[in-house]
Amino acid sequence: MKHSLVTLMALFLFGCSTGQIPEPPAVTQSRDLRDFDHDGVINARDNCAETPLTAVVDNDGCPVYVKRAEENDVQVLFANDSSVIPNSFLPEIERMSDFLKKYPETHVELKGHASPVGRHQYNTQLSLKRAKQVRKQLIENGIAPERIKTVGFGDTMPVKSDSKEQSNTLSRRVVAKVVGEKGYVVEEWTIFMVRNN
């Protein structure tokens, strides 16, 4: 009885289909929905075809950028009545050169100064000569001349300090500040990434 019930069930389940099951109809895709750079925007709408894989993208498939700025300054002190750059300040000028190479769109204005000792006209020429010496060193370090401007303020802006001697020492200077800005791609984080803190 048990055996015949199993046979009857098998016939009921499998015996009813006597013909073959028809193949489903072939579906033709009417639109190209491929996304070659895998950024979630189809090729037909993607204006930036080679988006970095981890980038956050806008509706056009282009990476979202954020601007970051950093600044670098230089200060070179000179001996009295001299425009010779002391060797101890060459690394500082090298650091400014590296910064200008990192940000090739930037320009620098070198501001020369002198201590209020001697004649004003002479000090103005001396301060400009100091700025030109720093400019020459930047050019030797590979910076294009047209990116560097020099100006001499003479003894019009002395540095205030505790003593006259210290004030004069700090006033014999060339200073400059440059701000560089770059756009960085905003990256998305997934569960597979690890932040480095």
pLDDT tens-digit profile of 103-140? 888 899 999 999 999 899 999 999 999 999 999 999 99
pLDDT at res. 192: 46
Q: Record the pTM.
A: 0.62
Beta bridge pairs of residue 180: 70
Q: For 17-61, write each residue's pLDDT tens digit.
A: 556 778 888 777 667 777 777 777 777 777 777 777 677 777 777
pLDDT at res. 4: 63
* Alpha carbon distance 60, 58 (integer Å): 5
Is 80:74 a contact under the CB 8 Å cutoff?
Answer: no
Q: Domain residues of the chain, as ranges?
A: 35-64, 68-184
Is 130:174 a contact under the CB 8 Å cutoff?
Answer: yes
Spatial CB neighbours of 107, under 8 Å, sequence gap ≥ 6: 147, 148, 149, 178
CATH of 68-184, one of 3.40.50.10420, 3.50.30.50, 3.40.50.300, 3.30.1330.60: 3.30.1330.60
Spatial CB neighbours of 156, under 8 Å, sequence gap ≥ 6: none
pLDDT at res. 11: 58
pLDDT at res. 197: 46
* Integer Rg of the chain from CA: 36
